[in-house]
Amino acid sequence: MTVLKPGDLVILKSGGPVMTVDTVNTDIFDDDKITGILCAWFVGSKLERARFDPDAIAAAPSREAAVEKAETPPAEAIGEYKTVLDEMAAAMNDAAEGHGDASRVSVERSKPASTRKYPADAAATVSRSAN
């Protein structure tokens, strides 16, 4: 069993948040016999504390260990992926250059239908007759 001391990061073996060891309780007659470990952790902004049996907790894995365990793809795979991406980018650039500058291409838009109640001629006729 790992010897824990105040400030060590631990987790419950059954899961849960990472906790900080606050106090290691030992037997009154034997300092080598651990009777409980007081841990503290936050739930939101609220500080929680509880005493756990030493067999119920384990040292939390360090961040460095987690990074080392993460699988990194072999260099060949990275090279092949980069090659494929470079080929795709080149093909897209070639297509854009072949068609000219796409930002200057004019787009013909249809005009929306008139929303007037009366035809334009009728409106002009009404305004003339009112004079």
Q: Mean pLDDT across the chain, nearest whole number? A: 75
Range of the domain at 29: 9-60
In SS3 terms, 93-121 reads as: HHHHHHCCCHHHCCCCCCCCCCCCCCCHH
* CA–CA separation, 69 and 58 (whole Å): 18
Domain identity same for 50 and 78: no
Predicted TM-score (pTM) of this structure: 0.46
Q: How many domains does the chain have?
A: 2
Domain identity same for 73 and 92: yes
Establish if 45 belongs to a structural domain: yes
Q: How far is CA 46 from the centre of its chain?
A: 25
Establish if 119 belongs to a structural domain: no
Domain identity same for 22 and 52: yes
The closest alpha carbon to 6, from 17, 22, 18, belongs to: 22
Domain identity same for 86 and 48: no
**pLDDT tens per residue, range 14-65:** 988 999 999 888 888 887 888 889 999 999 999 999 999 989 999 988 776 5
**pLDDT tens per residue, range 66-111:** 555 556 666 666 677 778 778 887 887 776 666 655 555 555 666 6
Domain identity same for 28 and 50: yes
